[in-house]
Structure 1
């Protein structure tokens, strides 16, 4: 599966799209700034549905959860899937090409539509009279090699015929994770701002735990009216993905900003210098209250996994009822 996101997608949103892909398959390769590859062989067996159905599920999730409409191409190889995603148009957003359909689907496409063919290569092929992928597939490989060069010519002919033995090699998750909260109107430091910061802490902690990662440091970015900003990074006493540890440091960062009458437009909270959670030494603690909070944290994660991220959240403020 080859996934294309809209151009100029913010980096933090792109990372969230990668998280949605990781929920479908463990083999995901990020192709920054706005594309990704997914190996579906194991995912099809695990989910018990068709490849097209997985593509549709992905689009529903990215639209409903992130407001991002992606284009999805699915095929028997990287070239076929990437070419298919480039041909997707409304409606649907998903194009699935079966192995037996590759030649028929590819033949009428212009050569520049074939994944891996650049503008200069397409221009050379046009000059020789090769305007479609079907003509490129039918051309003698030695002829195309003379036009484009040895290796490039062989690859062009193979890909025009749907031949691409490259596997999807997973790329490690980004070394940082960022979440953003934008205020509908300018806000001063107070209950609403602290509630927004607490919500970011909870979301970041859950994201790290789902990834199996822990942060060594936190960065808080404050955006002000007039395009001003403030940014500060501090390290955690030990790597952690627990809400309590992240919350303590996040509040310290906010206090360090020394806000008085600064009008905030957005907050950005980043987990920096991420490592695998398995590499974090868990210190034996006799603090029963902390242990109870960690147990409650696990329970809340299960609730969110089952009913959605908004099913349960932090109680930042209390109001008298009645």
Structure 2
């Protein structure tokens, strides 16, 4: 264990919902729920105003609607969240090269490995605690100044206690656990606060009359091994005593990149499936390129109407991040799957990742073939008849869909976001992060003056404007 609380755990407060409130002035201070909005939808994040009504992350959206019917229910805008995440993670890397990013809004930082390391190594406990507190407070202030969003930070001598600290600091706070305080902080907590203690482990401990971390810490390791098994019991025994020697591990390497969608209405037509595969392949490639990666193996995931799930894969001659190649491979794989009865979920992924893309002859060949087919279209109709339909050819199966929360721009009224749509109409509130709450207007769903738009950057806000 470290002599100083030099590990930080940063967690952005209600991240997705806070980004939406920052981007949409009319939602500030109001309940906001972000996630899937259909019958199968799940809450991804909710604002603190929504939590007052009992709404929580991972709750079914249908349940959330019953608890908080007047909230704003929005689809996630991952492009906006990713941009802010990258800005925040860059700030963390200025403090240390050892940043372990757990998710888009959460990370560990090892201050001892950064510029402050030499000073901390020479500091007394009191001096080190004072410096770490100042670093953490400056970090939170810098994030709020740059994004207008708040973050909670825990500082401790281990990853376990730093995360416990950030949870106790929420929202918009800092909790610093000095060495020696671990058991006092952990003791009153539920056993579920310990890493690796899920519902099954909790039940096993509950049957033994162990409800709090303090009660678990009072048990011998042998007793916990008897209850939970050798590996799990030993780990829980250490964690309950606040003992955690795990290092901050930067650049956790993903083994694959994938995207998937669940559909409100099962896909019944092969052309619909092919169109969706094209769209998923394009999203997958955007993620690949954002990570600076390429991959050799293309995988599709298909969940049928009866919930049976199939995967099919094909390994290419070399790594690629070419959308045409990945989409064409996904289409070939789909030919191996029966679509009878309907498809409720589709996914496209790429594995065997590499940090580079070869001069991909496979991709070049596909592009040249497409060009040749375009040039020779007037000479023969046979190749067109045999080729799989393109996404453009499938468009008639899909009318324009406007998602709640989506960024749009209108030729006359300017920038805004979709409040809702249905029965051939779409309702838009015209406002931006810098404007006062805007006016609402309704248009025909196919209005040519209304088009999707990229998110605008956020601006910092004063205390009176904080969500």
Give the alignment's TM-score, normalised by structure 2. 0.40
Give distance in 2, aligned partners of 1:187 and 1:270. Answer: 20
Matched, 1:272 2:346: no
Partner of 2:415: none
Larger radius of gyration: 2
Quick one: structure 1 residues 22 and 236, their matched pair in 2 at CA, closer, same or farther if it must change by over 3 Å? farther
Give distance in 1, aligned partners of 2:99 and 2:348. Answer: 25
Query: Which of the numbers 323, 348, 358 marks the counterpart of 1:281?
Result: 358
C-alpha contact 1:220 1:231 (8 A) present in aligned 2: yes
Give distance in 1, aligned partners of 2:276 and 2:145. Answer: 32
Give distance in 1, aligned partners of 2:315 and 2:363. Answer: 24
C-alpha contact 2:325 2:366 (8 A) present in aligned 1: no
Query: Which of the numbers 92, 97, 100 marks the counterpart of 1:29?
Result: 100
C-alpha deviation, 1:215, in angstroms: 1.3
Matched, 1:196 2:272: no
Quick one: structure 1 residues 284 and 257, their matched pair in 2 at CA, closer, same or farther if it must change by over 3 Å? closer
Partner of 1:123: 215
C-alpha contact 1:84 1:95 (8 A) present in aligned 2: no
Matched, 1:74 2:154: yes
Give distance in 1, aligned partners of 2:148 and 2:295. Answer: 30
C-alpha deviation, 1:188, in angstroms: 1.0
Greater helix percent: which structure? 1
Matched, 1:87 2:168: yes
C-alpha deviation, 1:265, in angstroms: 0.5
Matched, 1:39 2:128: no
Paired residue secondary structure (1:282): coil
| Greater displacement, 185-194 / 174-183 | 185-194
Ranges in structure 2 where 5+ consecutive residues have no aligned partner: 1-7, 12-43, 45-55, 60-75, 116-137, 198-204, 220-236, 371-390, 400-445, 449-467
C-alpha contact 2:260 2:348 (8 A) present in aligned 1: yes
Partner of 1:65: none
C-alpha deviation, 1:219, in angstroms: 1.1
Give the alignment's TM-score, normalised by structure 1. 0.54
Matched, 1:2 2:9: yes
Paired residue secondary structure (2:214): helix
